[in-house]
Structure 1
């Protein structure tokens, strides 16, 4: 069976560079390119993939929430994050959320090949850094897709009635989801929930962990 590697990145030149690295590790692989998380999902649904190389910042995604969503829907798929981020906290968060590798975009071609070779062997590869599990991330990972969509809407500052309209559900359902979100995250209000969710961002530092 032909191996399929999916490269999801919105920069054509970087997709080309990744294709070269993939070709060194999987010389017989079919490479499918995607410019967005939505296109990557379509490619994944078309058949078995050996691995996904995923940029965290595309037109329809920005941060580790896209990793959480794809890990939930494709739990056996090795996902190698490819990102411009150089922050150790992001490396650690990606590892905790189930990424198989984290490849900074500043990596050399040799480093990219080493990371992909580790993924091919069923191992993990991350830049050297001190890592520790973050309880807030574990709590975020426990949210359902519907709850994550509502939390994303809360981060946008939408009111319950606006969320209900956008998601085509009742306000009572929105309130029930929000209650469940607060319980799972161990918070008491929207502000605290937003601070916890900010740990999925990759572009800026986040506040310390928020407890109930």
Structure 2
């Protein structure tokens, strides 16, 4: 049976490069291209996939939150991050949050094929500099989907009543979730939670929440 590989990236030329690398590894695979996270999710819902190649920056997603969401909904799916970022912390965070591999966009086609072949064989593939566990990321990953949505609202500067309206829940429920979020993250304020959650960003400097 021919497998399906989903490539999610908002740059057509880079999708073509990835498709070429995929074709060398999964020779008979049906390649499904997506330019947004929503399109990638729709492709996954349409049928089982052997792997997802995921850009962290698209029109409807930015940072590692999209990886956490897809990892939770498709726990058995190998997800390979393809990113313009070459920061070791980003690759290390992707590994900790359940990615099967991390391929910098600056990698050669040969390196891409090497990484994809490793993932196809059931191995992980990350830059050598990607190492180390981050306890803050582990705490973020422990949040429920509802708590992550509320944290996203906090990061956007929304008031409790705005978050309640967006999520169609009561303000009391929002307040209860925020209390649980602060407890799980080990912080004492919304500002500290926002600074800690910045570790999900790819191209932003990360501040120390303990100093907020």
> Is TM (by shorter chain) over 0.5?
yes
SS of structure 2 residue aligned to 1:86: coil
Aligned residue for 1:59? 59
Partners of 1:209 and 1:165 in 2: how far apart?
A: 28
In the alignment, structure 1 residue 186 sits paired with structure 2 residue 190: no
Aligned residue for 2:5? 5
SS of structure 2 residue aligned to 1:82: strand
Aligned residue for 1:47? 47
- Answer yes or no: is the 8 Å Cα contact 2:101–2:124 preserved in 1: yes
SS of structure 2 residue aligned to 1:205: coil
- Answer yes or no: is the 8 Å Cα contact 2:91–2:130 preserved in 1: no
In the alignment, structure 1 residue 167 sits paired with structure 2 residue 160: no
> Which one is further off, 129-138 or 20-29?
129-138
In the alignment, structure 1 residue 140 sits paired with structure 2 residue 140: yes
Partners of 1:18 and 1:93 in 2: how far apart?
A: 22
Partners of 1:201 and 1:15 in 2: how far apart?
A: 22
Q: 1:11-160 maps to which residues of 2 (within 5 A)?
A: 11-129=11-129, 131-160=131-160
Closer/same/farther in 2, CA of residues 42 and 31 from structure 1, 3 Å limit:
same
Runs of 4+ aligned structure 1 residues displaced above 2 Å come to 208-212
TM-score by length of 2: 0.97
- Over the aligned positions, Cα root-mean-square deviation in angstroms equals 1.3
Structure 1 residues 64-91: Cα deviation after superposition (integer angstroms, max 9, x where no partner): 0000000000000000000000100001
Tell me how many residue pairs correspond in the alignment.
212
Could you list the runs of 5+ residues in structure 1 that have no partner in the other structure? none
- Answer yes or no: is the 8 Å Cα contact 1:136–1:209 preserved in 2: no
Could you list the runs of 5+ residues in structure 2 that have no partner in the other structure? none
TM-score by length of 1: 0.97
Structure 1 residues 49-105: Cα deviation after superposition (integer angstroms, max 9, x where no partner): 000000000000000000000000000000000000010000100000010000000
Shift of 1:157: 0.6
- Answer yes or no: is the 8 Å Cα contact 1:186–1:211 preserved in 2: no
SS of structure 2 residue aligned to 1:129: coil
SS of structure 2 residue aligned to 1:132: coil
Structure 1 residues 94-120: Cα deviation after superposition (integer angstroms, max 9, x where no partner): 000010000000000000000000000
Shift of 1:210: 3.8
Shift of 1:207: 1.6
